[in-house]
Structure 1
Amino acid sequence: MAAIETITNTLTNSPLSSMIENMGISVAKAQAALDSNSIEMLKSLASSTVEIGGQKISLLNLGFVPSFYAFTEATFDAKMDFSLAESTSFNADAVVSVQTQVVSATVSAGFARKFDQSASASSSIAARMVSLPPPENLVTLLKNLNPVGLTTTT
Structure 2
Amino acid sequence: MSSVVKTTKALTQAPLPDIVEKLGLAIAGAQFALDINSANLAKTMAETNVEIGGNNYNLLSLGFTPTFYAFTEATVEAKLSYTMSEGTSYGGSLEISASGGTPFFMAAATVSASYERKFSVSAEGASSIAAKLVSLPPPERFLEVLRAATPTLPKPANP
Which structure 1 residue ranges, 5 or more long, are not aligned? 149-154
TM-score of the aligned structures, taking structure 2 as reference length: 0.81
- 2:47 match: 47
How far apart are the structure 1 equivalents of 2:150 and 2:126?
A: 56
Q: Distance in 1 between matches of 2:28 and 2:85?
A: 44
Query: 1:12 corresponds to which letter in structure 2?
Result: T
Question: What is the count of residue pairs matched by the alignment?
Answer: 148
Letter in 1 for 2:139: P
1-structure distance, mates of 2:151, 2:59: 11
Q: 2:114 aligned with 1:116, yes or no? A: no
Instruction: Tell me the amino acid that sits aligned with residue 136 of structure 1.
Output: E
Indicate the residue corresponding to 1:65 in structure 2: 65
* Aligned residue number for residue 86 of structure 1: 86
Question: Using the alignment, how far apart are the partners of 1:110 and 1:81 within structure 2?
Answer: 33
- Report SS of the residue matched to 2:61: coil
Which deviates more, 133-142 or 81-90? 133-142
- Residue aligning to 2:134: 130
**Mean Cα deviation higher: 139-148 or 116-125:** 139-148
**Match of 1:53, as an amino acid?**
G
What displacement does 1:54 show? Answer: 2.4
Residue among 142, 145, 148 paired with 1:144: 148
Using the alignment, how far apart are the partners of 1:92 and 1:145 within structure 2? 96
Distance 2:74 2:92 in 1: 61
Q: Deviations over 1:70-106 (max 9, x none)?
A: 11111110000111111111122234689xxx98643
Gaps of 5+ in 2: 99-105, 153-159
- Find the counterpart in structure 2 of residue 31 from structure 1: 31
**More relative contact order, 1 or 2 (CA 8 Å, 6+ apart):** 1
Compute the TM-score of the two structures, normalised by the length of structure 1: 0.84
CA distance in 2, matches of 1:97, 1:67: 93
Q: CA RMSD in A?
A: 2.5
> For the residues of structure 2 that align with 1:71 and 1:50, how far apart are their CA atoms?
33
Secondary structure of 1:31's counterpart equals: helix
